[in-house]
A and B are shown apart, each in its own frame.
Chain A
Amino acid sequence: MARITFIQPDGTENTVEAEPGMTVMEAAVKNSVRGIAAECGGACSCATCHVYVEDDWRQATGEPEAMEEDMLDFAFDVRPESRLSCQIKVTSELDGLRVRIPEKQF
């Protein structure tokens, strides 16, 4: 089990429990976290599951792979800490992960 905190643009926080093996996007959708549209259901082909990983967690979540980096071109306000949450696999090392939800997913 890993706890993941989603921070809304207005600062409100939702902490949800995720099973290792699922993705951060799935954890959000399963718990009806606002602001993760995930239109393509995790196929890395819509860029509507965009999140900003908090600095302390960037090392643990790692860098986007080429396909994800390409898809980030279709996201809005992309920053160095941007990730597509459907491409972050939950592991027990990510227990406590904090990600910010952008103002808009397009």
Chain B
Amino acid sequence: MSVDVIKTDAVIIGAGPVGLFAVFELGLLDVKAHVIDILDRPGGQCAELYPEKPIYDIPALPVVTGQELTDQLMEQIAPFGAELHFNERVESIQRTEDGFRLETDAGTPFECKVIVIAAGGGSFTPKRPPLPGIEDYENTSVFYSVRKMDAFRDRDVLIVGGGDSALDWTLNLQPVAKSLTLLHRRSEFRAAPASVQKMMDLVDSGNISFKLGQVATLHGDNGRLTGVTVKGPDGTTFEQPTEVMLPFFGLTMKLGPVANWGLNLEENLIPVDTEKFETSEKGIFAIGDINTYPGKLKLILSGFHEAALMAQAAHRIIYPDKKLIFQYTTSSSNLQKKLGVK
């Protein structure tokens, strides 16, 4: 089966504030872009780590929250119609005759002339509980996300955590699992009250069980979990048999596949020049928190500036014969047409 290749001028890896603004700067120069992010929504750190917190150093916005900044960037880039691909992680980059080919973990192939890495602190990945030997069980008995519910049909499932992911999967998997136990360290949940209520109802009707405690040790062999030892709130322990464990402890940023793309790296950052923000590979740019250069500041402001200069260089690659004329959005009717305001 062959999947249709998505062809575009530029692929932007990361839909954080800097990746989003790159759509704008590229768009003004007629460079069409697709954006890919492993998260399920735009905003990167701003949306994932601090949506409600105020930011005070965005020029001309005395105060704006992480979520507001994201929403306003989405509005600002809307005229360019860039397609955003969520829940997909870019795994590989290959050079082709006239550009690059990228592939995501979902198998979506892209072909483009320019790559813009705006991967911030790396891809957001589920936290792995530091339990000895857990890696032996991963993807056979321990899962950090649910791709196919059917994989849990007629199995004994243990869900660990008290947030929305833990609660949502408790509700979704209960009908398919043979048995389902929710384990959490306390009886309060930081999740949507409606989900908590539904979960409690399932406990009351005997369809699932809820236990208080934290996983201390895993038991099993050959990648097959047979049970876990749980430390209860009073310090005593008990055994919980299970075939499957789904721990939900939030996300953390891990450099991830960026490390495998053959780029020069300095302490997990990508060195770039400060004229074009190009990496050691021609045609691959790196902007925002992921790059480094003398004097680099990990600020949104700096990432925006980097996006503007990168776009000039990207334009030269995509339109080698076109001379770029410097224009202001205020006065250029050409730019205003692109922005849909004329």
Tell me the A residues contacting B by CB distance below 8 Å: 39-40, 43, 45-48, 69-70, 72-78, 103-104, 106
B49 at interface by CB-CB < 8 Å: yes
Cross-chain contact B50 with A47 (CB below 8 angstroms): no
Cross-chain contact B49 with A73 (CB below 8 angstroms): no
Cross-chain contact A77 with B53 (CB below 8 angstroms): no
Closest to B66 in A: A43
Closest to B50 in A: A43
Q: Identify B161's interface contact among A47, A73, A104, CB under 8 A.
A: A73
Cross-chain contact A78 with B214 (CB below 8 angstroms): yes
Cross-chain contact B128 with A73 (CB below 8 angstroms): no
Cross-chain contact A45 with B214 (CB below 8 angstroms): no
Q: Identify B130's interface contact among A43, A72, A74, A106, CB under 8 A.
A: A106
Chain B: minimal CB distance from A79 (Å): 9
Tell me the B residues contacting A by CB distance below 8 Å: 49-50, 53, 121, 127-130, 161-163, 184-186, 188, 190, 214, 216, 249-250, 252-253
Cross-chain contact A39 with B253 (CB below 8 angstroms): yes
Q: Which residues of B contact A73 (CB under 8 A)?
A: 161-163, 184-186, 190, 249
Cα A16 to Cα B53 with chains together (Å): 29
Q: Which residues of A contact B184 (CB under 8 A)?
A: 73
Cross-chain contact A69 with B188 (CB below 8 angstroms): yes
**A73-B162, A103-B130, A106-B128 in contact; A45/B49 too (CB < 8 A)?**
yes
Q: Which residues of A contact B128 (CB under 8 A)?
A: 106
Cross-chain contact B127 with A74 (CB below 8 angstroms): yes
Q: Which residues of A contact B127 (CB under 8 A)?
A: 74, 106
Q: What are 5 A-B contacts with C-beta separation under 8 Å?
A: A46-B49, A69-B186, A72-B185, A77-B214, A106-B128
Q: Which residues of B contact A104 (CB under 8 A)?
A: 130
Q: Identify B249's interface contact among A40, A45, A76, A103, CB under 8 A.
A: A76
Q: Identify B185's interface contact among A39, A40, A78, CB under 8 A.
A: A78
Cross-chain contact A46 with B129 (CB below 8 angstroms): no
Cα A89 to Cα B186 with chains together (Å): 25
Cα A75 to Cα B247 with chains together (Å): 12
Q: Identify B252's interface contact among A48, A72, A103, CB under 8 A.
A: A48
Q: Identify A40's interface contact among B50, B130, B162, CB under 8 A.
A: B50
| Nearest 6 interchain pairs by C-beta | A104-B130, A70-B190, A74-B250, A106-B127, A43-B50, A73-B162
Cross-chain contact B50 with A76 (CB below 8 angstroms): no
Cross-chain contact B190 with A43 (CB below 8 angstroms): no
Closest to B189 in A: A73
Chain A: minimal CB distance from B309 (Å): 27
